Copies of this chain bind each other. A is one copy, B any other.
Amino acid sequence: MSLEFTLETRVGAARAGQLITPHGEIETPVFMPVGTGGTVKAVPQEVLEELGVQILLGNTYHLYLRPGVETIRRFGGLHGFMSWPRAILTDSGGFQVFSLNELRKVNEEGVTFRSHLDGSSHFFSPENSMAAQIGIGADIIMAFDECTEYPADRARTQASMELTLRWAERSKKYFDEHTREVPWKSRQPSAVSPQPNQIPRFARNDKFDESSTQSLFGIVQGGMDLDLRKESAERTVEIGFPGYAIGGLSVGEPRERTREVVEETLRYLPADKPRYLMGVGTPEEIVQYANLGVDMMDCVLPTRAARHGLLFTSEGKISIKQARYAQDSGPLDPNCDCRVCRRYSRAYLRHLYASNEVLAQVLNTIHNLSFYLDTMRRVRHSISLGEESRFLSSVWSRPKP
C-alpha cells in the first residue's frame, strides 16, 4: 500500500474524505499551494506548517532545470531537499512545457523544448518525466500528458487525446518498472561530510510498510468536447490508476465551460478514487468544484495575486496598493485569524507594497494562502455537517460588520 483514500461523508456530489500518503494524511477536499521550484514563493516551510498545509505541489519542469533531479535525489528527494516532511505532488512537466509555446516541438516520442532560463535544449517523454518525478520523489506523481490548446477543433482535440492516452500507458509502464527507485531512504555515500546537526531527510510514514512508494495518477484530456472527455475518462480508467486528474482546463475558455466539462468528466471517474482538478481557481471556484465532487485542487492564483497586491478576504477582494488603505488601521480581514491579520494593519501592508518591500510579498502570500486553506476547511466542515447548500453563504456572504 502506498496510498489510502477513504470517503467519510457525502452531501450531494460533494465528498469529504482522507487521503493517506507515505508523508502524511490529507483531509479532502484539499487545496494544494504551488511550490514551483522547491519553495512556495516568499514563505518559509515552518509557516506553511503553521497554516496547516498538508500537501504541496512541485513543478517537475522547474525542478528538473534547477537544481536538477540528481541533486534532489541525493537529498532523499524533494522532502529532504526543501525540508518539507509532509506530502508532495509533482506535475509531469507537460503543462509547463505546453506553456512555453514557441520553444517546444511535440512528436510521438515526446516534447523537445528550450529552457526559459538559458535557451538550452531538452527532451521530455513519458519515460523521462517518470524518471524525473521518481528522482524528485513526490508522494503523488502525474502521467505525462499533452495539454490540448484552446481553441482546438475536434480532430485536433481527438488526436491530442489519443496521444495523451498512449503516453499514459507508457508512463504507467515505466513507473511500474522503476517504482522501487524512490529516493526516500537512499543515503548514498557522497562527498558531503556529515555535520553535527545534519538536516533530516524525512523517511516515509510508519503507517505504511517498507514497500510503500509513490503513486501515479492518470490525467483526463479531451479539450472542451464532452464526448471526448467521456472517452478520455473511460479509457484512462481502463488503464488503471489510484487517482485521476482533470487536465487541459483553465487554458482560456469561459468559466461556465470549465464547470460544464468538469461536471461531465466527473461522471466517468470512479467514486472511490481521489479526483484532482488541475490549475483552479478563485476562492468561489474552489468551493464550487468541491461542491461538484472534486477532492484536490491547486492554483498559483493565491500566491501570484499576493505578489501583485491582490488579496482575498471574507469581505471580497482588496487591491492593497490603493490610496484608500493608506490610513486604514483595521486588519486586512477582520474574520481571519492568520498571523498577518492578527498583527498588521491595512495601512502598514499598503505602505510595504507601495515601498516595494520584500515583506509585502511575504505577508500578502501568507494571508492569501491562509484564506484559501481556511475556505477549504470551511467547505470540509460544511460537508461533514451535511450542509452542502451553505458552502457559498458561509464563506462569501458574511454580513459586513
Residues of A within 8 A of B (CB): 37-39, 41-46, 66-67, 71, 74-75, 81-83, 190-199, 326-331, 334, 339, 341-345, 347-348, 351-352, 354-355, 357-359, 361-363, 401
When distances are taken between beta carbons in the complex, the residues of chain B under 8 Å from A326 are 67, 71
* Interface of chain A: mostly helix, strand, loop or mixed: loop
Shortest beta-carbon distance from A216 to chain B in Å: 26
Known: A44-B363, A328-B192, A358-B42. A345 touches B83 (CB 8 A): yes
Q: How many copies does the complex hold?
A: 2
Complex formed: what's the CA distance from A399 to B180 in Å? 42
Q: Could you give 5 example pairs across A and B, Cβ below 8 Å?
A: A37-B357, A66-B351, A67-B354, A71-B326, A362-B362
A192, B327: Cβ atoms under 8 Å?
A: yes
CB contact under 8 A between A42 and B192, given known A71-B326, A329-B199, A355-B66:
no
Which 8 pairs across A and B sit closest by C-beta, in order of nearness?
A195-B330, A42-B358, A199-B345, A67-B351, A196-B334, A39-B359, A192-B329, A83-B343
Instruction: Find A44's partner among B66, B197, B339 (CB 8 Å cutoff).
Output: B339
Q: Which residues of chain B come closer than 8 Å to A197, judged between CB atoms? A: 331, 334, 341-342
Given contacts A192-B329, A351-B66, contact A43 B359 (CB under 8 A): yes
Is the beta-carbon distance between A359 and B75 smaller than 8 angstroms? Answer: no
A358 CA / B71 CA spacing, docked (Å): 21
A190 contacts across to B, CB distance below 8 A? 327
Cα A198 to Cα B328 with chains together (Å): 10
User: CB distance A354 to B66 under 8 Å?
Assistant: yes
A316 to chain B, nearest CB (A): 15
CA of A342 to CA of B354, assembled, Å: 33
CB nearest neighbor in B for A361: B358
CB-defined contacts of A352 to chain B, threshold 8 Å: 38-39
Which of chain B's residues have a CB closer than 8 A to the CB of A67? 326, 347, 351, 354
**A44 to chain B: which residues have CB within 8 Å?**
339, 359, 362-363
Instruction: Quote the shortest CB–CB distance from A159 to chain B (angstroms).
Output: 36
